[in-house]
Structure 1
Amino acid sequence: MLERVRQIWLLLATVSGLGVSPVFAADADHGGDLARRWCASCHVVASGQTQASADVPSFASVARKPDFSPERLAFFLLDPHPKMPNFPLSRIEAADIAAYIGSLRQ
């Protein structure tokens, strides 16, 4: 139910021309849950994580890149990538993961 309410709110914000980006309405906590479930086998997604692949960036290092943008990252996550498994993410899930990664920026 909450997911459906968020989808409707995002649609209304976009259609009404408020200029509200979907990433600003994203749920970083939900993105963290998704990241721990789907991304932690390859990436370090949280500070307490002890295992990950050596040749992939941690989420914190992605967040600290000078050109980091949650919007661009969300779109990147929606495209199939040869180096990454093809997870069937919705736009909201991609935005939530991008918001989570953005929350790690320090």
Structure 2
Amino acid sequence: MSHRLVALLAVIAAFGALSAMALMEAGYIGIFMQHFQNYAGMQVLTDLVIVCVLAIIWMIGDAKTSGVNPWPFVVLTLVAGSFGPLFYLVAREVKSRAAQTA
């Protein structure tokens, strides 16, 4: 297993734990409602939306060269934010490793 794959899985595990705690504390809707309480929260939410849109555009373009189907990861990005690009990077790394060993 490559160092890059281990790092990606560690980030997913840590971010997943943080996300689970946030969901237990505030609920799915509550996570978004926190961002409408002041301009600082709205700025963070807007930043997340911009980054996710850019990640979707990148995944679709990168899929043409990497051979990974981007659409499950696009949907995951729309539903769960950063998890989509993170799992796309895992799939890309696994596919790249498989191609190198074949």
The alignment's TM-score, normalised by the length of structure 1, stands at: 0.29
Asked which structure has the greater CA Rg, the reply is 2
Higher RCO (CA-CA < 8 Å; seq separation 6+): 1
